């Protein structure tokens, strides 16, 4: 029973709850960034460079075992999913490019957040250092009062 009690105390500590909230928000943030990359950034870049969606950029490593209906040559398969469904093996470097763009966007967003938090913390630290010490008797004053009281 002691282990269960210890675990409950550990699980409901503030840090654990904060971490859980951070994980949930991180997952949601990841979904938003993935959509941003695949639905907005990638099509803009693809249009600018006049190339297909990055997700369909791949290198054929092994030819498919069967061809999809209506396709007469392996070279006609331009979709990574269709190529793989046909039994082909491909190096999907376009997916890697998408993941790299997503990573850079997440890292940039986190950098902005951390930078803003650091500025806030620096401002608080400066304000705390600038705040005057509360006025009151010093240790020496208290000791002198005690001495004087003892003399009486």
Give per-residue pLDDT as tens, 123-134. Answer: 888 877 776 666
For range 81-108, the mean pLDDT: 88
In 3-state terms the chain splits into helix, strand, coil percentages (rounded to 5) of 70, 5, 25
Rounded mean pLDDT of the chain? Answer: 83
pTM for the structure as a whole: 0.58
Q: Which pLDDT value is given to residue 91?
A: 93
* Those residues with Cβ within 8 angstroms of residue 89's Cβ, 6 or more apart along the chain or in another chain: 60, 61, 62
Q: Which pLDDT value is given to residue 138?
A: 79
Q: Is residue 97 over pLDDT 70?
A: yes
For range 89-106, the mean pLDDT: 87
Q: How far is CA 48 from CA 20, 51, 53, 57, in A?
A: 40, 8, 11, 16
Domains and CATH numbers, the chain: 2-57+92-151 (1.10.1200)
13 phi, psi to nearest 5 deg: -65, 155
Give per-residue pLDDT as tens, 16-67. Answer: 777 888 889 888 888 888 888 778 887 887 788 777 667 888 999 998 888 8
For range 101-117, the mean pLDDT: 85
Q: Which pLDDT value is given to residue 12?
A: 72
Q: Which pLDDT value is given to residue 62?
A: 92
Q: How far is Cα 64 from Cα 46, in angstroms, rounded to an integer? A: 26
């Amino acid at each position: 029973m002691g282990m269960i009690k210890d675990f409950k105390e550990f699980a409901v500590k503030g840090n654990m709850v904060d971490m859980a909230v951070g994980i949930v928000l991180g997952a949601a943030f990841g979904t938003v960034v993935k959509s941003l990359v695949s639905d907005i950034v990638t099509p803009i870049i693809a249009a600018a460079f006049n190339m297909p969606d990055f997700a369909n950029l791949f290198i054929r490593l092994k030819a498919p075992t069967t061809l999809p209906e209506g396709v007469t040559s392996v070279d006609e398969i331009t979709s990574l999913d269709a190529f793989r469904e046909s039994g082909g093996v491909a190096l999907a470097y376009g997916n890697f490019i998408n993941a790299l763009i997503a990573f850079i966007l997440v890292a940039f967003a986190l950098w902005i957040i951390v930078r803003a938090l650091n500025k806030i913390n620096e401002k608080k630290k400066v304000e705390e250092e600038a705040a005057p010490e509360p006025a009151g008797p010093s240790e020496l004053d208290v000791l002198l009062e005690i001495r004087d009281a003892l003399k009486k």
